[in-house]
Structure 1
Amino acid sequence: MTRLAILVPGGSGQLGRDLAALARSSNAVHVDVTAPSSAELDITHAGAVVDAVRALSARAVADDLRPVVINAAGYTAVDDAESDEQRAFAVNADGPRILAAACASQNVPLVHTSTDYVFSGDAERPYEPDDALGPLNAYGRTKAAGESAVLGSGAAAWVVRTSWLYGATGCNFVRTMLELERERDTVTVVEDQYGAPTWSADLASGLLELVAMVTNGRGPARHTLHCTGGGQASWYEFARAIFAELGADEDRVRPCGTAEYPRPAARPARAVLSGDSWRGAGLTPLRDWREALAAFVARHRTELAGH
């Protein structure tokens, strides 16, 4: 059985919570997991990061565990980043650079999460990891800078891009649609932006599979990977599926174009990520996004009802 010591910065976010819960419940891997919130471990504070990674390494040595860091911390308020790019850059670029440097100094591997928003969204096919970046907004620019910092750090590091993440906690599209279904007779959602909805619990499972490979010395030769829910959808199609899973009339969801719903941050029109790199590394593809959505609603129906 693989024995791991995992540090998860950003442990109070939707992905961080799912990572910690899944790691602690795993029967296939023995895990000592520490998942501090961003308040408990601010990755922009170098001293705190160095201390946390050193403590992880020391705990691993003492308990005969293999250490690894999964960075789930990030500034994810896409529209707010347009007017607060300095803070977004600190969290999404400077923080990962500091974290990667600390990991390199302690010989601890790092898995860093990133986003489809590093692409422009004008491709006619799903994006591969090596495709040219072209972020359209501040959030995407800061995440692209974070990727570069991690991969250029000298650490044993892997970047995993995902898209349209949702979970039981935090601010995400599924929870927003739940609120709007209660409050409004109809909801208008853009139909000309496409991506792959991804349940944070499914992504967490994939990341844990990846770190098991990495800590066993079988880390993928490719250091940038894409991991999303299977298939693709527009936001409009995603919203209709959410209504249907809630038992609501999906025809209450009305389509509109991006031009009719202006936002501070431009969004990529079609930033669908190819899963070929994930499969090619011998990792298990995530299930289709519709199947995952049904499982998410079934698991969290009671708590969502009280949201």
Structure 2
Amino acid sequence: MDQRAELSEFLRSRRARLKPEDVGLPDFGRHRRVPGLRREELAQLAGVSVAYYTRLEQGNGQNVSTEVLDSIARALRLTETEHAHLTHLAKPKAKKKRAAAARPQKVRPQLQQLIDAMETVPALFLGRRLDILGWNRMARSLLGDFAAMAPEERNMARLIFLDPNARSLYADWESKAIEVVSVLRLCAGCYPDDPQLSALVGELSVKSEEFRSMWAAHTVQDKGHGVKRLHHPLVGELTVAYETLRFPDDHDLSLVTYHAEPGSRSEESLRLLSGWGVDEAVDADAR
């Protein structure tokens, strides 16, 4: 991916979402040719010259200091995740990141044994491109039969945008899709030279108009925790909370677990799934 273009488009998109009144600047009602703050207004807020900020927004971030990036991040009201993304785009560690992206990710056998022992908790491992690297029986019952998929198809973004079953599984599919694209965007900032990530983005851009639109929005977020409503083919509607856990020795690997509120109908649904097993769930998908 073109790092300079990514930096330019990200800064433009973040500036466009701000209005003068959002940042305490007067708005005299003059016609604005573009949405959001002007470059000179953003430069004023960040305490840098207009020429300096213009060069940065044109993708020339090689010599920018951390202090200036911090000032611009504050002026743009960036979240912590967006701030980190801006830093990755402006000051990439190309050689280190390229080497890391080239290494195949694997799940240690002990970690797989850990989630296999979680008999009532759906759990799966996600890699740096949202590749699905490992799962337990409950995850297959709840989210899909990953074992039956070809290895190259085991990717959360590919499933969300290209698999009709995934589209019907998530009650708020659009929210899930935006979340997936935002995590991929964050990954692209960290690994701009990853050919597999570029190929994935290219494939999804060609095959899904919705992905193209969401990708162009330049939203970034890390996968953390939250609540999802699902329409399961066996147990119907249920609500599950998810938690994302990182590993100190591999920050690109995450463990995602799902659980329901104790005593809730959704908890009973998960218990039923645990008793039925994956074979029944797969049969229901086929019907």
TM-score for the superposition, normalised by structure 1: 0.24
| Greater Rg over alpha carbons, structure | 2
Q: Which has the higher contact order (CA 8 A, sep 6+)?
A: 1
- Structure ranking higher in helix proportion: 2
